[in-house]
Amino acid sequence: MKTIVGLFWSVMAGFALACAVIVFSQLLGAGSDSLGFTVWTYRYYTLSLFVSGALLTFSKPARQYWKWMLLFLLAIVLVMAIGFDAYAEPATSNLDVAANVAAMTMFLAKLVMYVVPGGVTAFYAFTAYTNLPPKPSKPVGNDA
């Protein structure tokens, strides 16, 4: 990717592909419910996945960090294992350490499930943007 326009079009390509997958899966009625996603989190994950994939495809500097997609995989595994609709039972007393630990673990898992997809996408976009070649300066005055 050589220009900011290339970065823009790669993000738009990922966005368009994600929208197509979302519409197609909604028309079929498949996808989000069977995997533990709500409708909006399914859309969030799909958009993040396809924009990240487009940035990885079109940006060589972002490709150096392809292993960060393992965090995305971790978030998907957490969604399928725990789900967004799961809630921890409130502890009845402060002495119930196991219930408090379970509630804290579920909270941290949900934090990972909500933050990681957008964070990975933002990281790839930032990496692709910061590694664009600088715009050559135009000569001013008598320097031409």
- The three state secondary structure string of 54-76 is HHHHHCHHHHCCHHHHHHHHHHH
Q: List pLDDT tens digits, range 28-40.
A: 877 666 667 788 8
| Structural domain contains residue 140 | no
Indicate whether 102 belongs to any domain: yes
C-alpha distances in Å from residue 4, one per residue of 68, 80, 102: 23, 37, 46
Is residue 143's pLDDT more than 90? no
Residues of the chain above pLDDT 70, percent: 82
Kindly report each contact of residues 18-27 with a partner whose C-beta sits within 8 Å and lies 24 or more positions away, as own/partner: 18/46, 18/47, 18/49, 18/50, 18/51, 19/47, 21/46, 21/50, 22/46, 22/47
Per-residue pLDDT reduced to its tens digit, 76-95: 888 878 777 666 666 666 66
In a domain, 143, yes or no: no
d(CA 11, CA 78): 26
Predicted confidence (pLDDT) at residue 109 exceeds the cutoff of 90: no
Question: Residue 17's pLDDT is what?
Answer: 95
Tell whether the model's pLDDT for residue 26 goes beyond 90: no
Indicate whether 88 belongs to any domain: yes
What is the domain range of residue 63? 4-133
Q: Tell me whether residue 20 is in a domain.
A: yes
Question: Do 7 and 56 meet the contact criterion of CB atoms below 8 Å apart?
Answer: no
pLDDT of residue 113: 86
Residue 101 confidence (pLDDT): 82
Q: Could you give the number of structural domains in the chain?
A: 1
Q: Would residue 59 count as lying in a domain?
A: yes
